[in-house]
Structure 1
Amino acid sequence: MKNILAPALFVLAGLAAATPASAQADFGSCLSGLRAQAAAKGISGQAFDVATRGLTPDLTILDLMNNQPEFKTAIWDYLSALVDEERVQDGRTAMRQWGQALASAEARFGVDRHAIAGVWGVESNFGKDIGGRPLIQSLSTLVCYAPRRNDYFKGELMATLKIVQDGDINPANLRGSWAGAFGHTQFMPSTFQRLAVDGDGDGHRDVMTSVPDAVHSTANFLKKAGWVNGLPWGYEVRLPSNFNASLAGRKNKKPLATWAAMGVRRVDGRPLSGSYAAGIITPAGVNGPAFIVTKNFDAVYSYNAAESYGLAIALLGDRLKGLPGIQTAWPTDDPPLSRAQRRELQQLLTARGYDVGEPDGKIGAKTREAIKDVERRIGLEPRGRPGGKVLEALRG
């Protein structure tokens, strides 16, 4: 056991951020209290001690917890960065490379391979952005310093320690997001324990390094979440001018015939057809794009409990099928930017003397401060938003 856990200990100790003595003392006390709770979950004292010895908290995680993009970013900005041409092309390449694994996952669980790939693309950019934070460090920090969701993160920490103790995954590879999600499709540790499966036949469930394991596990998740084989997740619709906004909502499902009688049509004008029930979501209000959504959208939604997130997966899956993107314009006069356009924006900011770091398309604090300065100069409210008006001003 010591040999299994040692690589994780080395990684965690080497990457731990320096913290004030008082914070470290509090952290040590918190870990001591967790040791007995871990034992009650079947985690040996030796395993706990090796995994946490020398561990320090990463307090930068607390800021990340309070700035989740699914809940703070305008829907058009969120989707523009997640479902752009670059990701669609990357996804088609990934689906060709791993076509057999995706096809076998679809056959095994009855889940559309494009939906599986949609999760993969949104969660980790097809394995390119898996995340590099050591899980035990991240989750212990959240348990000890985020009381609002203490019980939740404690459960995830215990599940992570169990994964390490059981030898499911090389502990040196257990890195992920600030919240503890890991692997190609970003499973939380407790979800891994319940739903991860062996997809490549090697006897292990390794969603970190095995794409077949990751896509089969994701298909299993969606199936258990209620995915119905052959049912569409939904599609874009056109609402009548007198549509009652209070009827919108993922949970307010009605037979398609009922929506059709109200004047709802597909976005291309064709009538609704089908015998299933569906809801209608309007992520930017009734004056923006609207979508019929079925039980399969609910299954995708359950992966992260955010409609914007579920819509990103569904739309990316459609694009990977060769279907068009959103047809209705967003209700904004300042169009959103793709990742390529965001990189261009950063390059233009750098050329004008702003320090924004590497032009990677990720909008961090330095880029936002530079954008605010540009917004002030062109008469916009300084929000730090990477929009079309700022890009055009910089191009000019």
Structure 2
Amino acid sequence: MRSAFDQAQFLPRVIELDRAQPEFTRTVWDYLDNTVSPQRIATGQDKLLQVRAEADAAAARYGVPGAIVVAIWGMESNYGGNYGSTPIIDALATLGFEGRREDWARRELLAALKILDSGDIARDRMIGSWAGAMGQTQFLPSNFLAYAVDADGDGRRDIWGSMPDVVASTANFLSRSGWQAGMPWGVEVKLPAGFDYGRADMAVRQPSAQWAAEGVTTMDGQPLPEFADGAVLLPAGAQGPAFLVGPNFRAVLRYNNSTNYALAVGLLAQRLGGGADVQAPWPRNLSALSRSQLTELQTALSQRGFATGAADGVMGPATREGLRRYQRSVGLPADGYPSAELLQRLQQP
């Protein structure tokens, strides 16, 4: 273990990146244009063919389709093209020494040392992102210890160079996170006239049969997937596409707790399998609010009596709920979606 620190270096750039808070946010459609691009779809279809044997083996063992695993691979490292070159020990030691997440970084550093001690990977090959995520599908060390698999039988769990291990480990992660075999991640839907947009929330879950009874339908008229606890997702608010998502969408959220990320994985996997793109148009006339504009929105809402929690420029559940209550109070669709128009309205005397 001591040898792991013999060449350890403090990396100032890691601290800079950790402290950076980008001012400008992206709309979901801009994000999807980049992450589910025609190039990434075409490359992913080729990659899915290349790892078909590994994907089929993992699907049989863990119940996770190969297209989902390959979509995560594409999202995390552009199919292995870029999974970072930062020494993980150096990055985590730096974050554990000086950073806003010292306790977390030290726990991950201990996990990384256990991986070295087990002989899964040599120190000089344990590389990844500045934030400590490793290998072709970007596992944190603690997740590596919990979910990584030696699928090729060489005695090591190698998520850097062994595609059987990469594919099986990623499928195992999702399986252990609640993936339900044979179920889709979700489906694009049409909402009925008069739908209460305030119920389009990941916390509002009910059986698909209940959503269907309320008038929610698929785009092509086929029955809704049989979710026991489906939720309606409106990633761009009432003016954009709607989705009904189930437990497999939430399993992807455990991989990366961002609804935009989970939606991108689902849509990329759908396209890799020859499925349809999003059919309803995105409201591309809307612009994303910057972090400082979101802070202004939160402050204005709180001043009007619609509590949003801390005015920190981050769109969390408290801000969304405060925004919905304001929208209801003025007769607007309560979708909780922040827009420049809403901000301007709130700032009027």
**What TM-score results when the alignment is normalised by the length of structure 1?**
0.69
Partner of 1:56: 9
CA RMSD of aligned residues (A): 2.0
Query: Aligned with 1:252: secondary structure?
Result: coil
Partner of 1:310: 262
- Write the letter of the residue equivalent to 1:256: S
2:274 counterpart of 1:326: no
Q: Is the 2:186–2:225 Cα contact (8 Å) retained in structure 1? A: no
Q: Is the 1:133–1:178 Cα contact (8 Å) retained in structure 2? A: yes
Q: Is the 1:239–1:265 Cα contact (8 Å) retained in structure 2? A: yes
Q: Is the 2:184–2:225 Cα contact (8 Å) retained in structure 1? A: no
**Which of 18, 28, 33 does residue 65 from structure 1 map onto?**
18
**Which of 286, 292, 301 does residue 253 from structure 2 map onto?**
301
Partner of 2:68: 115
1:98 Cα deviation (Å)?
1.1
**Which of 175, 184, 188 does residue 232 from structure 1 map onto?**
184
Query: Aligned with 2:265: secondary structure?
Result: helix
Q: What is the rounded CA distance, in whole Å, between the counterparts of 2:102 and 2:28 in structure 1?
A: 29
Q: What is the rounded CA distance, in whole Å, between the counterparts of 2:18 and 2:220 in structure 1?
A: 40
Greater Cα shift, 266-275 or 251-260: 266-275
Structure 1 gap segments, 5+ residues each: 1-46, 337-396
Larger RCO of the pair (alpha carbons < 8 Å, separation 6+): 2
Q: What is the rounded CA distance, in whole Å, between the counterparts of 2:221 and 2:17 in structure 1?
A: 43
* Correspondences of 1:1-396 after superposition (within 5 Å): 47-48=1-2, 50-66=3-19, 72-147=25-100, 149-272=101-224, 274=226, 276-333=228-285
Residues 301 and 261 from structure 1, CA distance in 2 versus in 1: closer, same or farther, beyond 3 angstroms? same
Q: What is the rounded CA distance, in whole Å, between the counterparts of 2:117 and 2:26 in structure 1?
A: 38
1:335 Cα deviation (Å)?
9.9
Identity level (%): 42
Task: Flag the structure with higher helix content.
Answer: 1
Residues 174 and 82 from structure 1, CA distance in 2 versus in 1: closer, same or farther, beyond 3 angstroms? same
Q: What is the rounded CA distance, in whole Å, between the counterparts of 2:135 and 2:123 in structure 1?
A: 13
Q: What is the rounded CA distance, in whole Å, between the counterparts of 1:99 and 1:335 in structure 2?
A: 40
1:165 Cα deviation (Å)?
2.1
Q: What is the rounded CA distance, in whole Å, between the counterparts of 2:254 and 2:20 in structure 1?
A: 20
Q: What is the rounded CA distance, in whole Å, between the counterparts of 2:161 and 2:250 in structure 1?
A: 28
Residues 68 and 321 from structure 1, CA distance in 2 versus in 1: closer, same or farther, beyond 3 angstroms? farther
Q: Is the 1:92–1:320 Cα contact (8 Å) retained in structure 2? A: yes
Q: What is the rounded CA distance, in whole Å, between the counterparts of 2:273 and 2:280 in structure 1?
A: 20
Query: Aligned with 2:183: secondary structure?
Result: coil
Q: Is the 1:238–1:269 Cα contact (8 Å) retained in structure 2? A: no
- Write the letter of the residue equivalent to 2:32: L
Partner of 2:323: none
**What TM-score results when the alignment is normalised by the length of structure 2?**
0.78
Structure 2 gap segments, 5+ residues each: 289-349
Q: What is the rounded CA distance, in whole Å, between the counterparts of 2:48 and 2:21 in structure 1?
A: 29
1:270 Cα deviation (Å)?
4.3
1:68 Cα deviation (Å)?
7.5
Q: What is the rounded CA distance, in whole Å, between the counterparts of 2:280 and 2:12 in structure 1?
A: 42
1:347-388 deviations in Å (ceiling 9; x for gaps): xxxxxxxxxxxxxxxxxxxxxxxxxxxxxxxxxxxxxxxxxx
1:273 Cα deviation (Å)?
5.1
